[in-house]
Structure 1
Amino acid sequence: MPKNGGRIRNFKNNDAFEHDDRTHTSNTRRVSFKPNTHKGKNKWNNVKLQLDDDVYMGGTGEGGPHVHRKGAFRGRGGRLNSPSPRTGHGMAKKKFIAGVLPWYQIIIPYGAKHEKDVILKTLLSYISPDIFVPHYYKTNGNAAVFYVDDVKLAEKLFHADRKITMSDGFKLMVIVRNSVPNVAVDAEMKEKMKLAMAKRYNATTKALDLTKFHADPDLADIFCALFRPVIMLAAIDIIAENIPDLEALNLNDNKLHGIEHLKILSSKLKNLKILYMGDNRIPFLGSLEPLKNLQLVELYLKGNPLVNRFSDNEIYVSDVRKKFPKLVKLDGVELPPAIGFDVLEDVTLPLRQQSFLVDPAGQDLVREFLTQYFAIYDAESRQPLLEAYHEHATMSLAATYLSNDNRNAATQRLNSYITNSRNILRITERESRRRYLRTGRLQVVSFLSDLPKTAHDLMGFAVDLLVFTPSIIVLTMNGVYKETNTNGNPTRSFHRTFVIVPNAGGGFCIINDMLFVTNTTKEQEEKAFSTGVTVEPTPAPVAPAPAAMAQPSPDDAQKMMLNMLSQQTGMNDHWSINCLQQTGWDFQRALFVFNQLNSEGKIPPEAFVK
Structure 2
Amino acid sequence: MFDKYRRFLLNRMTSTPEIVEDIENSLATEDETVKHSLHKILVCRWPEGNVELFETLYEYFGLMFIPHNFVASNLVTSFYTDSLTLVLKVMKMDFMFQYNRNMFSLDILLNDKTTTECFGDKITIDEVVTKIINQRFNEHRELNLTNFCNDPVLHERKIHFHKLVLLAHFKILMLRMGKETRILNLSSNNLSQVPSEILNFFIKGDLIGVNLSNNNIPSLAELQRISSKIEKLWVEGNPLCGDILDAVTYIRQISQKFPRLTELDGVPLNNHGVKMPFFKHHVNDLGNKTKLVIEKFVTLYFGHYDTNRLKLENFYVPHANFTITTDFKETAEDILKDPYARHSRNFINPVKRAMYVEKNKKRSYHSQQAVITVLNCLPPTEHDLSTFRIDVLQHDSKCLVFVIDGVYKELPHRLSKERFIHFRRTFILYYAVKPYNNMLTSYVIVHEMFSASLASPEIVRNSFKFPIRNICQIKLIEPDTEDVQTMCNIFIYYTKLKKSEAKARLIKVDWDIKKALKQFTYDLKSGAIHSDKFIEDDDFSDLSSLLEDELD
Normalising by structure 1, report the TM-score: 0.28
More strand by share: 2
Task: Pick the structure with greater CA Rg.
Answer: 1
